[in-house]
Amino acid sequence: MSEVHEQPKIPKSRHHTIREARHEDIPLLADVERSAAKLFTYFNVPVDDSVVDLSLLTSMLQDHHLWVAVDDEDKPVGFLGGFKVDDNFHVAEVSVKKDNQRQGIGNSLMYRMMKDIKEEGFPAITLTTNQILPFNRPWYQSLGYIELEAKDIGNELTLLIEEESNHLDNNLRCAMRKNIL
């Protein structure tokens, strides 16, 4: 005689899809970025309300250098965007909503970007990050990025770092690079 077992309830999927951003995604990305930044306050890192400028996001979109992670309802829960700096691709922002972190979304965004950028012929990827937060630099290192010494930072990246220092503490930042060709 067989027993009848009730099917277990399956929780709603935490599925995400990575795709190129669309124009309608851009107004939603500020909320993603603000949500992601809430994590910084736990580590006494000052957070202001600044987000990536809409015109810069639009430029990234037009250059096919803006990717989003979307949920089952096609709403952005993460994004990555960048542009050319010193002939390399520079990651300007990676953000994942606080409630969606630690699910592999950041990794998925980075891998998709790297695949697309490699196809475009960029030799390397650069980025700047906060070196105080216990998860930023180690995460990038786990993806193969190495910290750059001042002598290895190109002119355009140096200018970008100086510009960042207008609203971020430059002493807390480091530049990193990953060769892809």
- Yes or no: domain 17-179 corresponds to CATH 3.20.20.80: no
What are the residue ranges spanned by the domains of the chain? 17-179
Residue 25's pLDDT is 98
For residue 78, the SS3 value is: strand
Question: Which CA distances in Å does 162 have to 28, 97, 124?
Answer: 28, 27, 21
Q: What is the pLDDT of residues 7-53, one digit of tens each?
A: 433 334 468 999 999 999 999 999 999 988 887 766 666 566 678 89
What confidence tens digit (pLDDT) does each residue in 55-100 have?
999 999 999 999 999 999 999 999 999 999 999 999 999 999 999 9
Report the 10 Å Cβ neighbour count for 158.
14
Query: What b/e sequence results for 77-95 when a residue is b if at least 16 CB atoms lie within 10 Å of its CB, and e otherwise?
Result: bbbbbbeebbebbbbbbbb
